[in-house]
Every structure is written in C-alpha cells, then in structure tokens.
Structure 1
Amino acid sequence: MVRGRAPGPGGGVGAGGGLLVVGDVATDVVARHRAPLARGTDTTAGIRLLPGGAGANAACWAARWGCADVRLLARVGTDARAWHEASLRDAGVRACLVVDDEVPTATVISLVDASAERTFLTDGGASVRLSAEDWSPSLLDGVGRLHLSGYLYFSEAGRGAAAAALASARERGVAVSVDPASVAFIEELGVKRFLAEIEGAETLLPNEDEARLLTGLADAGKAAAALSRPARVAVVTLGEAGAVVAEAGEVTARVPPVATHPVDSTGAGDAFTGAYLATRLTGAEPPEAAEEGCRAGATAVTLAGGRPTGPGREER
C-alpha cells in the first residue's frame, strides 16, 4: 500500500504540490481489428473517435489516480479545441491549451490487432508546434513535479519548449520526468541527441524497447541501471512482465505484473506514467510508485483508447 493515500483511483494527495504535464493532445481514431489487415481491400474493425495524446493521457491518469492538481500545457487546433478542453476538464485536468489557427489538432490512427498490440499512424498537427514562446515559468507555481512527453523532442519547436520548461524547473528545484515515447522517432532524431536534450531530468520512464535503444543493452535491468546514472531514477516498463526500477546506477526493485485481460494496449505506458507520478507526489518511493503504475497500466489495457473510464472520455 502506498503511504499517505488510499491505493488506486480516488486516493487523496499529500502535500507534494501539483503535477504539470507539458506534451500533446490528440484526436485518436482507434480501429480494433481481429483479422489481419487485408492489403488493398476491406478489413472489418470496430472504430471509435476518442480524446488522446500521450501527455494528455498521462495527465488524465494522474488525476484518476488521486492527484488533485494536474495541469497540462499543450497546443491544439481550432477544430477540436472545445471538445478537448471539455474532456480534460471533466477528467479533472486543468487544461492550458494554446490554440493554433493555422493547423489542426494532432490526429493518431491506432490500429489494434487481436493480441491487443497497437500500431500508430501519427499526424503531429498543432502539437509539434508547441514552442518556447508558449512557456511561462509561472506555470510551475504550486507544482511539485514537471513531466515532459517525449514527443516534444521530435520537432524543433517542441525541443525549445521542453528546454525552456526544464530550465525553469531546475531553477526552482522542481523534479522533472521524461517519457521517451517512441523508438522510431528517437532513431530519427538520434540517441545521442535525445540523451543530450533530456540532460537534467530526474526520472526517465521508458518502455523496454526504448531503454534498449537508449543504452544498447539487451537486459532491461542493466538498461535501467545505466539510464539511472545520467538521471537519478529510471523505471522501465516491461508490458506483461511488470517493471524494473533503478536508482543511482543500481536496480532497486522488480515490480511484478498485474493479471489482466488486454483488449487494447494504447495508452498503457501513459497510464503507468500518470499513476507513478501521482503516487510520487504523495512522498512514496519509486518502487511503490511503480507498483501503482503497473496497476494503472493493467487497467488501461482493458479499455479501448488511452484514457480512464468516466467523465472526460466521451467520443466525439
């Protein structure tokens, strides 16, 4: 059980301050198909239009996991502003959305197969245009933790926004976490460049594939230990195998998985991140927070899309 709060959704928050997420909001087109895709013709699928985005999803899960003060800085187009603002507000997230008049909101097509594995087709839209000009240090007022979505680092403007936010957080002594987000995009940017951009973050939250890419190490525990040296904490999610926690170069915990029946793995990592950060804000140590993250991830894979159930998840 996590100290200072009831475990799981609805738990109270300690005096650790709020959570600010800087990242992305997206409109998700989730297509679940049981048969393999039939190239050049039709494949039957269940299709839903849902609010998404890695940053927004993590924020919603943090609120669902008991954090009473969750804020999100992101950029959206005029096309879906009202829907996304309402969805975030209903989920308990204070949305600080910059409206872009030139490009539409990010859109992600999530193809989910019979094994619940998802493949993304991503149009970054307005989200990749979030920039340093959209940042203000005042956004950190009352904040105990800053979380940066890895998708920020895959555009020049986003890297500027992330750098400005990270610099402000370090000046104020606010802990910063980063979710690397995408193997394909890290490869495109370059591992060395990515690691240089996130220097100064206190916590890294990669999945197993991202951790292997960032370190060149096949073993998840060794990769976590290596990543916890430039940062202070690295928590590597292992999907159905749970998670491994490393601090200051040493593995400190291997967290077992939570049994579940997955239908869609979209947003499982975001759920882990949100619950992990909400729990850390209560004063819990990384292993305890990772246990809560695994619980949230196990819940997420039973749902279509990347958000928790309840208000804030309505289809468009």
Structure 2
Amino acid sequence: MKAGNVASIGECMLELSGIGDDAWRMGHAGDTFNTLWALRALTDPGQGADYVSAFGDDPFSAAQMAFMKENGIGTAASPAIDGARPGLYAITLDGAERSFTYWRSDSAARRLADDPARLAKSLENRALVYFSGITLAILEETARHNLLAALSAAQASGATIAFDPNYRPRLWPAPSVAQAAIDEALAVTDIALPTFPDEQMLHGDATPEATAGRLSSAGVAEIIVKDGAAPALAVWGDGSESIAAVTVEAPVDTTGAGDSFNGGYLAARLAGLEPAEAVRRAHRVAAAVVQVRGALAPFDVLRKAFGTT
C-alpha cells in the first residue's frame, strides 16, 4: 500500500464514561473515528488524515470538530447540517467488559452521504479510505449506494479501501438487509478486518478460516480475522498465518480495542510492513488500549506500543 493521505468515514459520537459517584466524563468516539485516531497517532504527521462524516451546527458539534483539529484530524468537505447534532452514547462497565446505551437515531452523521459531490470531494487523492458496517447501517438505502459509488470511484483512482463489517444487530432492520449491504461493500474492499464472533452471528461461520474463505471468495485480497484474545488469522496473496494476541492480565476497559487494532494494522501496512508483522504491531496496540479507560488512548501510549518511540 502506498503512503499518503487517509480518510475514515462514519459517525463520531459524544461518549459519556463514568468516573465514579454518578459523575461522567465526556469524550468523542465511534468505531471508525477510533480507528482513525490510531492511524493519526501512528503515521507521519505530514500525511493528511480526515474524518468524513456530517456534523451539526450546535455547540457540541463545534467542540467535536475543534477536538479533531487539535489532534491533527481534518473533516475534508463534510457538511454541517442546520439543526442537527451528534449522536451520544454512555459506557457502563462490569469489570473490564463494557455495555453501551445509545441516543443516535437523529444524528447528523446519518446524512454524510446525502450529497454525492461533497462525499466524492472528501475522498479525492487518498492512499487509504476506511469504513465499517456501522457506517453502512446508519445510512438510508440511497445514501448507502452513494457511499459505495464514491468508494468505488476512489478505488479506481488508486485508493486502497479497507472495511470492517462490524455487525451490530440493533442497527439493522433484519440480518438479511445487513448481509446484502455488507456483500455490496465487499465488492469494493481491498482489505477486510472482520471480527469472528460478528461473522459467526451474521453468517454462521464455523471458524475464522471459514470467514476468511468466504471473504476471499467475494474477491477480497487481504483479510485479517480478529477474535478477541484468541489469535488473529491473516490471509493475503499466497500467505496465511495465525498470530497470537498479546495477553493482558488485568484489562481496564476493552472499549475501542478492535478499532485500535485496525488502526495499528493499517498504519503498519502504510509503512510498508508485511501483513503478518502488521498484525503483530496491531495486537500490541490493542493490548495498550485495553489498559486505559475510554476508546481513545493517548498518542504516546499508542506509539510506544506500536514501536515508533
């Protein structure tokens, strides 16, 4: 994969995480934003990094865009929607395991692909474009087709397209709708980063090898099947390797671990590392993330884990 500007497409929400005594800390997170956060930390600051979405015109949206700018993340040609606002979620923890409560049905990000010209402009001159099944799920059917058309055009212009199916049943009207949309997305995917339990739930895959085989048959050239603390399966070209995760004895918060794995993997591939080594780096990044609270680990923590400091 060539080095260069990257873009990630989806929904960045307001994140509420408990800090004790019924107090909450507000942050900014969302699956594709978490991945871009890791990519921003682990790639050359001179490479452009943009979060492609839609934003509201409220103070929380302004604060969200300011937070991105402060951390070297742009928003390309993403629209600001009059009267719209960001989605919101709250994290509750049982030990290190988390659960989420969402308020997102009318978030601005649901309109990120309503304007095909703006979306196409946001994806111009990219080395890498990343999106997820959640990106697909929050869009209406017409907007979903707009997104896939824009991705196809970016791919034809030389961008590598990376996709995590990231299946969340509550976001889809039926599993069959999710299957059809994800299948369409795979047709424009160069690198797939699925999580095995998600694929097992949606497609009935018996093993990570079955997941990799199905995606390979769909035409995806590079596949990394994540499986939590179990080994990740990497399949590319003529290569295949099962690569052990990094063990963390006392994880603090597993929020964002898989997203950060994706960011670490893609950063390594942009740096020219081979897939197996990129998975090893990604495992280290994910292990670092589960040792801090919230979805976004500090840049220096990510860099140290990745091996750039």
- Relative to the length of structure 1, the TM-score reads 0.81
Q: Check conservation: 1:118, 1:265, Cα contact below 8 A.
A: no
Structure 1 residue 252 displacement after superposition: 0.9
Query: What is the correspondence of 1:2-151 to structure 2 with a 5 Å cutoff?
Result: 16-31=3-18, 47-68=24-45, 69=47, 70-79=49-58, 80-96=60-76, 97-124=78-105, 125-133=107-115, 135-151=118-134
Q: Name the counterpart of 2:252.
A: 263
Q: Name the counterpart of 2:182.
A: 194
Q: Give the helix-richer structure, 1 or 2.
A: 2
Kindly provide the CA deviation profile for residues 58-91 of structure 1, in whole angstroms up to 9, marking residues without a partner as x: 1111011224322211112223122212221222
Q: Name the counterpart of 2:307.
A: none
The one-letter code sitting in structure 2 at the alignment partner of 1:106 is G
Kindly provide the CA deviation profile for residues 119-164 of structure 1, in whole angstroms up to 9, marking residues without a partner as x: 3435151111211415343434442111113222112165144213
Q: Name the counterpart of 1:178.
A: 163
Structure 1 residue 308 displacement after superposition: 2.1
Structure 1 residue 301 displacement after superposition: 1.1
Q: Check conservation: 2:268, 2:278, Cα contact below 8 A.
A: yes
Could you tell me which runs of 5 or more consecutive residues in structure 2 were left unpaired when the two chains were aligned.
301-309
> Structure 1 residues 84 and 279, CA, compared in 2 at 3 Å: closer, same or farther?
same
The one-letter code sitting in structure 1 at the alignment partner of 2:43 is G
- Once residues 123 and 88 of structure 1 are traced to their aligned partners in structure 2, the CA distance between those partners, rounded to angstroms, is 20
Structure 1 residue 242 displacement after superposition: 3.7
- SS class of match (1:102): coil
Taking only the aligned residue pairs, the percentage that are identical comes to 22
Q: Name the counterpart of 1:287.
A: 276
Kindly provide the CA deviation profile for residues 13-64 of structure 1, in whole angstroms up to 9, marking residues without a partner as x: x96212111111110112478xxxxxxxxxx666321111112211111011
Q: Name the counterpart of 2:230.
A: 241
Q: Check conservation: 2:97, 2:254, Cα contact below 8 A.
A: yes
- SS class of match (1:270): helix
Moved more, 220-229 or 290-299: 220-229
> Structure 1 residues 67 and 255, CA, compared in 2 at 3 Å: closer, same or farther?
farther
Please say if 1:221 is aligned against 2:214.
Answer: no
Structure 1 residue 115 displacement after superposition: 3.6
> Structure 1 residues 265 and 92, CA, compared in 2 at 3 Å: closer, same or farther?
same
> Structure 1 residues 183 and 18, CA, compared in 2 at 3 Å: closer, same or farther?
same
Could you tell me which runs of 5 or more consecutive residues in structure 1 were left unpaired when the two chains were aligned.
1-13, 34-43, 312-316
Please say if 1:276 is aligned against 2:258.
Answer: no
The one-letter code sitting in structure 2 at the alignment partner of 1:148 is F
- Once residues 234 and 45 of structure 1 are traced to their aligned partners in structure 2, the CA distance between those partners, rounded to angstroms, is 42
- SS class of match (1:99): coil
- Once residues 37 and 157 of structure 2 are traced to their aligned partners in structure 1, the CA distance between those partners, rounded to angstroms, is 25
Q: Residue 159 of structure 1: which of 129, 136, 144 is its match?
A: 144
- Once residues 204 and 310 of structure 1 are traced to their aligned partners in structure 2, the CA distance between those partners, rounded to angstroms, is 25
Q: Check conservation: 1:132, 1:160, Cα contact below 8 A.
A: no
Task: State the number of aligned residues.
Answer: 287
Q: Check conservation: 1:242, 1:294, Cα contact below 8 A.
A: no
Moved more, 186-195 or 72-81: 186-195
Moved more, 284-293 or 114-123: 114-123
What's the Cα RMSD here? 2.5
Q: Check conservation: 1:257, 1:294, Cα contact below 8 A.
A: yes
Q: Comparing both chains, which one has the higher relative contact order based on Cα–Cα distances under 8 Å and sequence gaps of 6 or more?
A: 1
Structure 1 residue 287 displacement after superposition: 1.6
Q: Check conservation: 1:30, 1:48, Cα contact below 8 A.
A: yes
Structure 1 residue 98 displacement after superposition: 2.3
The one-letter code sitting in structure 2 at the alignment partner of 1:146 is V
- Once residues 290 and 231 of structure 2 are traced to their aligned partners in structure 1, the CA distance between those partners, rounded to angstroms, is 13
